[in-house]
Chain A
Amino acid sequence: NAGVTQTPKFRILKIGQSMTLQCTQDMNHNYMYWYRQDPGMGLKLIYYSVGAGITDKGEVPNGYNVSRSTTEDFPLRLELAAPSQTSVYFCASSQNPGRGTEAFFGQGTRLTVV
C-alpha cells in the first residue's frame, strides 16, 4: 500500500536552476496539497488541487507552479531556484478535508539551493 510517494528524497540545486518535485498517490483522493516546512514555521501551504485540472494558490505560492493532469499526480515545479526555497517539501492527499477527512503525507523532499 504505497499511499503518497514523493521523489526525489533529497536534491541540491544551484541558484537559477529549475526542477520538478514529483508526487503520486494511489488512494484515488480528489484533493492534493504541497507544503513547505521551515524550522519553527510549521507547514505552509504552497498550492493545492481539488481534482484533475483544478489548482489554486495557497499561502506561499510565489516561485512555484503546479499542474494536475491526472487524479494520481501533482508535480511541483520550481523555476529559477533561489536560496529562500531551501526547505523540506511535503505532498499530501485527502478525500475531502472540508468534510473532515484527514490528509495523508509523503515522506518529504529535502531541497537545498546553493
Chain B
Amino acid sequence: AQSVTQLGSHVSVSEGALVLLRCNYSSSVPPYLFWYVQYPNQGLQLLLKYTSAATLVKGINGFEAEFKKSETSFHLTKPSAHMSDAAEYFCAVSRSGSSYKLIFGSGTRLLVRP
C-alpha cells in the first residue's frame, strides 16, 4: 500500500529565505504525487503534481518540487518565502493503475517570520 511521510510538523523561515518542505513516499509501483496547500479555515488546493513526465515540477506561487526515485522523495521548495506563504502543506500519493485512493501525509505548517 502507498504511504507518505512528511518530516517536520512545523517549519519556520524568515521572509526571503529558502523554503524546503520534505516528503517521502512509499509505493510498490511508480506513484503519482501531489502537494496541496491549506490556508486557515479553508479547503485544500493543488500546488503542483508529478505524473511521470518531467521530474522537476513547477507549481503555483513560485513553488516547485523534484521527484527523486532513488530517494523516494518529492520535496517542495521555494527560493524566497513570502508572508503569504504561511499555511499548512500536505503531500499526497496515489498509485498509478487500478488504485483509487489518494493518501495524505500528516502535513507541515509553514511559519514565515518578518
A residues within 8 Å of B by Cβ?
Answer: 4, 31, 33, 35, 40-45, 48, 50, 56, 58-59, 90, 92, 94, 97-100, 102-103, 105-108
Contacts and interface: CB of A to CB of B under 8 A. Distances in A.
Given A43-B90, A98-B97, A99-B96, A90 B43 contact: yes
B110 to A, nearest CB: 15
23 contacts: A40-B107, A42-B104, A42-B106, A43-B44, A45-B101, A45-B102, A50-B100, A90-B43, A90-B44, A92-B44, A92-B102, A97-B32, A97-B101, A99-B51, A99-B96, A100-B51, A100-B96, A103-B44, A103-B92, A105-B43, A105-B45, A108-B42, A108-B43
Contacts of B45: 105
Contacts of B94: 97-98, 100
Contact of B46 (A42, A48, A58, A102): A102
* Size class of the contact patch on chain B: 20 to 34
Nearest to A107: B43
A108 B102 CA distance: 17
Contacts, number: 74
Contacts of B104: 35, 42-45
A56 B9 CA distance: 30
Contacts of B52: 100
Given A4-B43, A102-B49, 10 more contacts: A42-B90, A50-B100, A58-B101, A98-B95, A100-B51, A100-B96, A102-B46, A103-B92, A105-B45, A106-B43
Interface in B71-114: 90, 92, 94-107
A42 B107 contact: yes
Nearest to A9: B41
A38 to B, nearest CB: 10
